[in-house]
């Protein structure tokens, strides 16, 4: 019996990856076997994987009529895998999978599990490149998976009916050939060891880069733990470590991964962080856990700790940089003898925020900030019709910083409005200067973050900027993402109407990521729709698959909106967009974001020429 006909059925995706390859699989069947033997429905040809390593089973909750997948270690006959399976850092025999769960197969092969709610996916706005196992495969029945789950190694259903990772095949499939990986867990606490935590950190960073989330890494070092072992006993020391491990596992969020970093150190990996506030909540919860005394053998032990915290992308954009950052924090604290007490730890993030605010204020005073401008070109006439203003920070120590490195922190400070004013004034002043120099009038496009858009002073601020700079409102365009709109659609509608009343142009940015704002378009004041960068990048991998972009352009045309494609880098992408009748394009195919002097020269040189013809078509 196939449960797929259940009306409450959700869509699920499993992403399997190792150091060589990555595979995205839509889970449509009710049962999957995973292993290295070719008889499995999902084949992973690695010697570290057992013949049948794990089993996925779809189950339905009869009370809620909702389905979900469970993962079992081994097969349904009770045979376990050699290297076991770990979900979110914990070894398990059976586990109900939840959206975002990280799975490790006791070796270098990892997986992540994702839920695609039927309410957030449009069947016509998907990528047809990923397939699940099907009988008698036909092109029109191929499984469709959203663009946000890119598939790097194509699976050909006409070749064979199993899913496999595209790495070197295993010639000998005997059970004895399973390579027994060195332990991925700490034997004392049964927590993931440093090797496994590193694996999870790598996966978490990959997901965060794709979904534009944060990742947090916390390191906990027990002060003077060696004295307990030397002066009391190693047995007591072991019990202390076991109690700390249990408390961390029991009281932290289910998605957080607690690990034994080694010796007297523990780590906490925050894999799904939306905002800095999420990290603050975890820190507070952590402090509460560590404040509690440890009763062991009728004695009470109270400990002090050194704490280190690193957040992606602010403190590093890769695993080694984040680890290096957090370990340096611990080392510096030990060297100075400055143990971070529990009260001090609770203010750690606030302290970092205050330091950042002080530094940003200096940047505004000392003119370390600048705007770079990237042209937008009309694909039919070849004329430059606008530029997008992008902020840069010329940091005296860290060099040129892109906005993703600092804007999320700026939004938590009192400098949000001064920074927004500076961006708007600089952009509008420059656009007015170009007009005064005799250049054809163009749109100046400025991005608004969620915090900037919903700030109560926004409308007043824009009025003041337009009045002060003398720029007519129709030459200012504001880009707002669909995520921002969906946060509070009713309030967003009122703000958009107020902006429309000012006469500024409005662009719906990053469209095509989640499709949640489609229903909002019919009554919105947006004049333009900007297709998300990730959608355009897919044309590199599969230029024939234009259904997503074609659907978005048709959607915009229906609502009388112009379409801009950002991230255009190749002639191939340009040709496809021209054929699909996209209105305008933006990207490195024509120009990178340019400092003001270079942007002025670019506009002067191309003000009356066809840019498209210069670069091909």
pLDDT of 133-173, one tens digit each? 333 333 333 333 333 333 333 333 333 333 433 333 334 44
Q: Do 202 and 63 lie in a common domain?
A: no
**C-alpha distance from residue 324 to each of 316, 329, 355 (Å):** 9, 9, 20
What pLDDT was estimated at residue 421?
95
Tell me phi and psi for residue 279, to 5 degrees: -65, -40
Tell me: do 460 and 607 sit in the same domain.
yes
Tally of domains in the chain: 3
Is 519 a residue whose pLDDT tops 70?
A: no
Query: Is the residue at 348 inside a domain?
Result: no
Check if the beta carbon of residue 91 is closer than 8 Å to that of residue 190: yes
Give the β-pairing of 562-566 and 528-531. Answer: parallel
Q: Are residues 335 and 381 in the same domain?
A: no
Mean pLDDT of the chain, nearest integer: 80
CATH number, residue 249:
3.30.70.270
pLDDT in tens, 11-69: 888 988 877 777 888 898 889 999 998 889 998 888 889 989 999 988 876 666 778 88
Closest CA to 116 of 564, 550, 577, 516: 516
- Predicted confidence (pLDDT) per residue in 219-232, tens digit: 999 888 888 887 78
Measured distance CA(408)–CA(149) in Å, rounded: 25
Q: Structural domain of residue 30, as residue ranges?
A: 11-116
Long-range CB contacts (within 8 A, 24+) of 20-23: 20/165, 20/166, 20/167, 21/152, 21/153, 21/165, 21/166, 21/167, 22/150, 22/151, 22/152, 22/153, 23/151, 23/152, 23/153, 23/155, 23/163, 23/164, 23/165, 23/166
Say if residues 349 and 309 touch (Cβ distance below 8 Å).
yes
Return d(Cα 372, Cα 595) in angstroms, integer: 5
Q: Would you state the pLDDT for residue 592?
A: 93
Band (406; pLDDT cuts 50, 70, 90): confident
Tokens for 305? 């700790």
Q: Are residues 415 and 290 in the same domain?
A: no
- 411, 449 contact by CB (below 8 A): yes
* Chain segment 248-269, per-residue pLDDT in tens: 888 777 678 899 998 899 999 9
Same domain as 321, residue 224: yes
3-state secondary structure of 42: strand
Highest average pLDDT, of 172-186, 237-251, 309-323, 467-481, comes from: 467-481
Q: Are residues 386 and 283 in the same domain?
A: no
pLDDT on residue 286: 85
Is 229 in a helix, a strand, or coil? Answer: helix
Domain-located, residue 585: yes
pLDDT of residue 5: 45
Residue 563: band (very low, low, confident or very high) from pLDDT cuts 50, 70, 90: very high
pLDDT in tens, 91-116: 887 788 988 889 988 888 889 898 87
Is the pLDDT higher at 424 or at 74?
A: 424
Maximum average pLDDT range among 127-141, 315-329, 425-439: 425-439
Beta carbons of 507 and 485 less than 8 angstroms apart = no
The answer to whether residues 321 and 391 belong to one domain is: no
Calculate helix-pair angle for 533-541, 547-558, nearest 10 degrees. 140
């Amino acid at each position: 019996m196939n449960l797929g006909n259940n009306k409450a059925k959700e869509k699920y995706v499993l992403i399997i990856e190792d150091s060589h390859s990555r595979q995205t699989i839509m889970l449509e069947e009710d049962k999957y076997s995973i292993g290295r033997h070719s008889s499995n429905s999902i084949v992973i040809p690695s010697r570290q994987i057992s013949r049948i390593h794990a089993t996925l089973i779809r189950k339905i909750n009869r009370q809620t009529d909702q389905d979900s997948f469970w993962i079992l270690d081994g097969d349904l006959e009770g045979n376990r895998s050699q290297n076991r399976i770990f979900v979110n850092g914990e070894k398990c025999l059976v586990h109900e999978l939840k959206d975002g769960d990280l799975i490790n197969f006791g070796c270098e092969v990892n997986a992540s599990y994702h839920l695609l709610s039927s309410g957030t996916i449009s069947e016509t706005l998907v990528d047809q490149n990923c397939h699940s196992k099907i009988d008698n495969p036909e092109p029109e029945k191929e499984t469709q998976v959203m663009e946000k789950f890119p598939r790097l190694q194509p699976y050909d259903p006409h070749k064979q009916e199993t899913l496999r990772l595209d790495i070197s095949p295993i010639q000998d499939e005997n059970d004895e050939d399973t390579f027994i990986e060195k332990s991925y867990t700490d034997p004392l606490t049964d927590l993931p060891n440093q090797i496994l935590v590193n694996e999870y950190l790598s996966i978490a960073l990959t997901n965060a880069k794709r979904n534009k989330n944060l990742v947090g890494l916390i390191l906990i070092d027990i002060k003077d733990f060696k004295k307990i072992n030397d002066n009391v006993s190693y047995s007591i020391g072991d019990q202390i470590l076991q109690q700390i491990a249990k408390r961390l596992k029991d009281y932290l969020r289910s998605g957080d991964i607690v690990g034994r970093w080694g010796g007297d150190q523990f780590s906490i990996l925050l894999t799904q962080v939306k905002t800095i506030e999420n990290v603050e909540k975890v820190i507070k919860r952590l402090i509460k856990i560590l404040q509690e005394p440890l009763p062991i053998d009728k004695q009470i032990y109270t400990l002090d700790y050194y704490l280190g915290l690193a957040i992606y992308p602010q403190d590093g954009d890769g695993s080694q940089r984040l680890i290096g950052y957090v370990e340096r924090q611990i080392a510096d604290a030990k060297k100075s003898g400055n143990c971070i007490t529990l009260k001090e730890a609770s203010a750690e993030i606030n302290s970092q925020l205050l330091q950042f605010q002080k530094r940003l204020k200096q940047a505004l005073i000392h003119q370390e900030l600048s705007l770079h401008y990237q042209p937008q070109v009309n694909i039919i006439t070849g004329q430059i019709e606008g530029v997008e203003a992008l902020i840069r920070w010329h940091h005296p120590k860290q060099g040129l910083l892109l906005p993703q490195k600092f804007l999320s922190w700026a939004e938590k400070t009192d400098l949000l409005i001064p920074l927004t004013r500076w961006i708007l004034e600089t952009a509008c002043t420059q656009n007015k200067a170009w007009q005064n120099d005799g250049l054809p009038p163009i749109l100046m496009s400025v991005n608004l973050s969620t915090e900037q858009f919903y700030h109560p002073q926004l409308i007043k601020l824009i009025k003041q900027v337009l009045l002060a700079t003398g720029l007519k409102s129709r030459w200012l365009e504001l880009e707002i993402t669909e995520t921002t709109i969906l946060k509070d659609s009713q309030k967003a509608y009122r703000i958009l109407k107020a902006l429309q009343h000012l006469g500024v142009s409005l662009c719906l940015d990053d469209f095509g990521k989640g499709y949640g704002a489609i229903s909002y378009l019919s009554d919105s004041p947006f004049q333009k729709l900007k297709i998300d960068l990730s959608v355009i990048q897919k044309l590199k991998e599969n230029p024939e698959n234009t259904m997503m972009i074609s659907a978005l352009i048709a959607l915009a045309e229906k609502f009388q909106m112009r379409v801009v494609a950002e991230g255009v880098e190749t002639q191939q992408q340009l040709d496809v967009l021209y054929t699909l009748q996209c209105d305008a394009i933006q990207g490195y195919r024509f120009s990178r974001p340019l400092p003001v002097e270079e942007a002025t020269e670019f506009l002067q040189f191309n003000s009356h020429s066809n840019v498209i013809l210069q670069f091909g078509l």
